[in-house]
Chain A
Amino acid sequence: MSTITLFSASDAIAAFLLAHIAYVFPAPVKGWITSGDVVLGLASLIFGVILLGASMINTIMLIWWERKLLGRFMDRRGAMHVGFAGLLQNFADGLKLFRKDTFRPSKADSLGFWMSPTAYMVTSVVIFGILPISTGWNGGSLPLTLLLALVIFSFAPLFIFLGAWASNNKYALIGGMRSAAQMIAYEVPILLAVVAVVVLSGSFNLTTIVLEQRNYWFWAPLFLALIVFLTGMLAEMERIPFDLPEAEAELVEGWNTEYGGMLFAFFMLADYVRYLVGSILVVLLFLGGWTLPTYVPSALTSFPLAGIFWFMVKAYLVFGGFVWVRASLPRIRTDQLLRLGWMRMVPLALLSVVLAALVVAAHCLPVLGCVPSMGG
């Protein structure tokens, strides 16, 4: 059985569709329509649509997952009434926001105000195109996927600050500045933690990084880097305890104070896209991606789409950890956050890079084994 990839599936769909509409056209057009280039073009489009749909549905399910988990942490049930166990609640909420009037405050800058949510949304969703979900289920195996993903991920403060400034609102401005300061400060420890992974795996390609974790997952030797990465991701995602850019107690809603209706939905959806991407990055870099340890019975890994299944389970569990943190910690202050970032996270991240280098120097670890590319 040849492995089905997302792209081969889209290719098959495109070829099937084109072959069935081609017969209505005269000969030259017919030949052109069924040619490889057109099929490839349509296949790319279908690929994109499937990816977008899947990521959007997953994002909305992530909101459901957070609501249910938070509910349980808080001794209540979360959404219950729309759909089974409230599964459709977020779709209903989205519909409500979609029907709401979208308006711009009269003193707000038009271009920045409209552009910010759109750009924030687009730059968040684009990352899904390059994240490998399972073998063959990605848009293309570029050599520098990891770097590209992090670069796109770090666009966000720019657009947040743009929207905050354009809103012409003091709360939004303060929130936007906090957001920019926080995100830029936490880029550094995140990148350093990623460097530790790169040192160990010898590659910037996410697929390769996952495959290098065949023998052991990287969280075991790089536990420090995992801690730094998780903390940094919390700050990048602007979640409690680092949600001070939108600290509702003092800044109303922070940088998106002036956004309502569908524009707010864009921000919120893009936020959850970023949460999902963050969780996925944790899974890819530290938790073995779609692979399971070798001692797991093969029945667990051999059913169709097992890779994607385990991958999503891991991603949702990681996000569950973020929700747990949200349920139990208060919000900290900007100066404390920045101090934590520069004084604690950066040294820890540097230490983890050194640890990774030591692991590489040792080639194989006593209990865990070896990284495949280093002779395992």
Chain B
Amino acid sequence: MSEMWVNMGPQHPMTHGLWNLRVRIEGEVIKDVEPEMGYLHRGIEKISEDRHYNEIITLMDRTCYVAGLAWEQLFIVAAEQALHITPPERAEYIRVLSAEFQRIASHIMWYAAFVQDIGLMTPFLYGMRDRDLILDLFQSYTGGRLTYEYMRVGGVRNDLPLGLTDRCRKVCDWLMDRFVEYDRLCLSSTPFHERCDGLGVLEAPEAIAYGVTGPMLRSAGSRRDLRKDRPYSVYDKLQFDVATATTADVTGRYLVRMEEMRQAVRIIRQCLDWLDDHPGPVMAAQLPRWLGAPYAPVGNEAYLLKRNYPTGVGFSMVEEPHGEAGAYIVNDGGEHPYRVKFRSPVLINIWASKRYLPGYRVADIPPIMGSVDVCVGECDR
């Protein structure tokens, strides 16, 4: 059969979102690929210029709809830097707890979607079932299951309800059992290895050259993890290992994510112990008045406020479930940021597909692209 271009997207079961992978195939062999992004662009960076800092948090939930709290944390770290606010330590621990639970939820979501891509239906439903437990936890202390709007500049919205830490511990125990089950369903099955071993290989030097981060980079043996290399929040006080693999292929990414979930449980357990022992405030005491205001001030007041507060620049990098996310905020003294810029790890990881897809077969596209963990919301922003 001669060469032809096939559009895998924008509406295609492989894409997990709204994007288009144009593939040039000869028979079943991939010759070239061309990702087309932008179908889900909502102008979040631009909208942010017209929002209160605390209102931008609602946008962060919608940036990546499977890792809302991780993106809230990303924005909060940069915003607090730009506004010269220090949150209380308890709030930091609650944020780390939330972010790590979010990491597990996101990785389980990835697992469910990924196994669906290679034709396994049962683990998909197991994954969704177990993710629900984490969403239940989120619901009980943030009120939301998908869009949380929980973190605030200067802390978090509310403290954990009574008894939540014990519930979290129970969920952690249950999850640790389930991870064993996940591995048994996948790693112990020969067809799984036939579909995943040696596919989508992206070695560490190439990955770094492309700017690929997160589990994709760590699966190539690199030990880069922002939580260790550039610790933010309270990660420097917590013990955990960086999950790595050596094969740089789909199976490697699977192993890295599975190990990351176990390490996340380890971090969560430490956070829970700390939170039990250290009650205290969860919001900073000295906050600008307008940060607590529900609505933007109108008229002259906004002009006046603009004069009254310090200016600053905030930059944060966070090890988000998909990779390294970055936020850059310029505060020119107003109640809105002057400019906001986000770095999406998924966008870079998808663009590197020009390197790691050609040469494989059409049937390999779903496992390979599935192993990237695509979240188009953060990709297009």
Give the contacts of A61-83 with B (CB-CB under 8 A): 70, 73-76
Contact A331 B119 (CB under 8 A): yes
Q: Which of A243, A247, A330 contacts B192 (CB 8 A)?
A: A330
What are the residues of chain B within 8 A of A170 when measuring CB–CB? 4, 6
Q: How far is the CB of A146 from chain B (nearest CB, A)?
A: 31
Q: How far is the CB of B119 from chain A (nearest CB, A)?
A: 3
Q: Which of B8, B28, B118, B365 contacts A330 (CB 8 A)?
A: B118
CB of B191 closer than 8 Å to a CB of A: yes
Query: Given the complex of chains A and B, what is the CA–CA distance between A367 and B362 in angstroms?
Result: 51
Q: Are A249 and B121 CB-contacts (below 8 A) given A75-B129, A330-B192?
A: no
Q: Are A252 and B121 CB-contacts (below 8 A) given A244-B363, A333-B363?
A: no
Q: Are A250 and B189 CB-contacts (below 8 A) given A174-B362, A328-B122, A330-B120?
A: no
Give the contacts of B11-43 with A (CB-CB under 8 A): 12-14, 28
What are the residues of chain B within 8 A of A75 when measuring CB–CB? 125-126, 129
Q: Mark A222-262, 1 if CB is under 8 A from B, else 0.
A: 00000000000000000011011001111110000000000
Give the contacts of A301-354 with B (CB-CB under 8 A): 326-336
What are the residues of chain B within 8 A of A332 when measuring CB–CB? 191, 194-195
CB of B366 closer than 8 Å to a CB of A: yes
Q: Output the nearest chain A residue to B4 by Cβ-Cβ distance.
A: A170
Q: Are A329 and B191 CB-contacts (below 8 A) given A170-B4, A170-B6, A335-B361?
A: yes
Query: Given the complex of chains A and B, what is the CA–CA distance between A327 and B124 in angstroms?
Result: 11
Q: Which of B13, B125, B126, B194 contacts A249 (CB 8 A)?
A: B13
Q: Which of B28, B121, B125, B126 contacts A326 (CB 8 A)?
A: B121
What are the residues of chain A within 8 A of B92 when measuring CB–CB? none
CB of B115 closer than 8 Å to a CB of A: yes
Give the contacts of B191-211 with A (CB-CB under 8 A): 191-192, 194-195
Contact B194 A74 (CB under 8 A): no
Query: Given the complex of chains A and B, what is the CA–CA distance between A87 and B185 in angstroms?
Result: 30
Q: Mark B115-136, 1 if CB is under 8 A from A, else 0.
A: 1111111100110010000000
Q: Output the nearest chain A residue to B113 by Cβ-Cβ distance.
A: A249
Q: Output the nearest chain B residue to A244 by Cβ-Cβ distance.
A: B363
What are the residues of chain B within 8 A of A174 when measuring CB–CB? 28, 362
Main secondary structure of the interface of B (DSSP, over half): helix
Query: Given the complex of chains A and B, what is the CA–CA distance between A128 and B14 in angstroms?
Result: 38
Q: How far is the CB of B6 from chain A (nearest CB, A)?
A: 5
CB of B320 closer than 8 Å to a CB of A: no
Contact B122 A243 (CB under 8 A): no
Q: How far is the CB of A145 from chain B (nearest CB, A)?
A: 35
CB of B100 closer than 8 Å to a CB of A: no
Q: How far is the CB of B184 from chain A (nearest CB, A)?
A: 11
What are the residues of chain A within 8 A of B121 when measuring CB–CB? 70, 74, 240, 326-327
Contact B125 A241 (CB under 8 A): no
CB of B149 closer than 8 Å to a CB of A: no
CB of B72 closer than 8 Å to a CB of A: no
Contact B189 A249 (CB under 8 A): no
Number of A-B contacts (CB under 8 A): 79
What are the residues of chain B within 8 A of A327 when measuring CB–CB? 121-122
Q: Are A248 and B13 CB-contacts (below 8 A) given A328-B185, A330-B115, A330-B192?
A: yes
Query: Given the complex of chains A and B, what is the CA–CA distance between A248 and B4 in angstroms?
Result: 20
Q: Are A74 and B366 CB-contacts (below 8 A) given A249-B117, A329-B189, A333-B361?
A: no
CB of B364 closer than 8 Å to a CB of A: yes
Q: Output the nearest chain B residue to A241 by Cβ-Cβ distance.
A: B191
What are the residues of chain B within 8 A of A331 when measuring CB–CB? 118-119, 191, 195
Contact B118 A249 (CB under 8 A): yes
Q: Which of B117, B126, B365 contacts A74 (CB 8 A)?
A: B126
Q: How far is the CB of B335 from chain A (nearest CB, A)?
A: 47
What are the residues of chain B within 8 A of A73 when measuring CB–CB? 122
Query: Given the complex of chains A and B, what is the CA–CA distance between A139 and B13 in angstroms?
Result: 44
What are the residues of chain B within 8 A of A244 when measuring CB–CB? 363
Q: How far is the CB of A107 from chain B (nearest CB, A)?
A: 15
Query: Given the complex of chains A and B, what is the CA–CA distance between A84 and B12 in angstroms?
Result: 36
Contact B125 A333 (CB under 8 A): no
Contact A74 B6 (CB under 8 A): no
Query: Given the complex of chains A and B, what is the CA–CA distance between A249 and B6 in angstroms?
Result: 14
Q: How far is the CB of A323 from chain B (nearest CB, A)?
A: 11
What are the residues of chain A within 8 A of B363 when measuring CB–CB? 244, 247, 250, 333-334
Q: Are A330 and B119 CB-contacts (below 8 A) given A250-B14, A250-B366, A252-B13?
A: yes
Give the contacts of B72-117 with A (CB-CB under 8 A): 115-117
Query: Given the complex of chains A and B, what is the CA–CA distance between A170 and B8 in angstroms?
Result: 11
Give the contacts of B334-373 with A (CB-CB under 8 A): 361-366, 370
Q: Are A249 and B361 CB-contacts (below 8 A) given A75-B125, A332-B191, A332-B194?
A: no
Query: Given the complex of chains A and B, what is the CA–CA distance between A334 and B115 in angstroms?
Result: 18
Q: How far is the CB of A325 from chain B (nearest CB, A)?
A: 10
Most A Cβ at <10 Å: residue of B117, B119, B120, B185: B119
What are the residues of chain B within 8 A of A171 when measuring CB–CB? 6
Q: Output the nearest chain A residue to B129 by Cβ-Cβ distance.
A: A75
Query: Given the complex of chains A and B, what is the CA–CA distance between A248 and B121 in angstroms?
Result: 12
Query: Given the complex of chains A and B, what is the CA–CA distance between A241 and B195 in angstroms?
Result: 11
Query: Given the complex of chains A and B, what is the CA–CA distance between A335 and B194 in angstroms?
Result: 11
Q: How far is the CB of B186 from chain A (nearest CB, A)?
A: 8
Q: Are A334 and B28 CB-contacts (below 8 A) given A170-B4, A249-B366?
A: yes
Give the contacts of B119-169 with A (CB-CB under 8 A): 119-122, 125-126, 129
Contact A249 B120 (CB under 8 A): no
Q: Output the nearest chain A residue to B185 by Cβ-Cβ distance.
A: A328
Query: Given the complex of chains A and B, what is the CA–CA distance between A198 and B121 in angstroms?
Result: 37
Q: How far is the CB of A246 from chain B (nearest CB, A)?
A: 10
What are the residues of chain A within 8 A of B115 when measuring CB–CB? 330
Query: Given the complex of chains A and B, what is the CA–CA distance between A333 and B192 in angstroms?
Result: 11
Q: How far is the CB of B278 from chain A (nearest CB, A)?
A: 38
What are the residues of chain B within 8 A of A328 when measuring CB–CB? 120, 122, 185, 189
What are the residues of chain B within 8 A of A74 when measuring CB–CB? 121-122, 125-126
- 16 pairs from A and B in contact (CB 8 Å cutoff): A75-B126, A171-B6, A240-B119, A248-B13, A249-B116, A249-B117, A249-B366, A250-B8, A250-B363, A252-B12, A331-B191, A332-B194, A333-B195, A333-B364, A334-B28, A336-B194
- Could you tell me which B residues sit within 8 Å of A by CB distance? 4, 6, 8, 12-14, 28, 115-122, 125-126, 129, 185, 189, 191-192, 194-195, 361-366, 370
A74-B125, A329-B189 known, 20 other contacts, Cβ within 8 Å: A74-B126, A171-B6, A174-B362, A240-B119, A240-B121, A241-B191, A244-B363, A247-B119, A248-B13, A250-B8, A250-B365, A252-B13, A328-B120, A329-B119, A329-B120, A330-B115, A330-B120, A333-B195, A334-B28, A334-B361
The 9 closest A-B CB pairs, nearest first, are A331-B119, A249-B366, A74-B125, A330-B118, A249-B117, A330-B120, A330-B119, A333-B363, A327-B122
- Could you tell me which A residues sit within 8 Å of B by CB distance? 70, 73-76, 170-171, 174, 240-241, 243-244, 247-252, 326-336
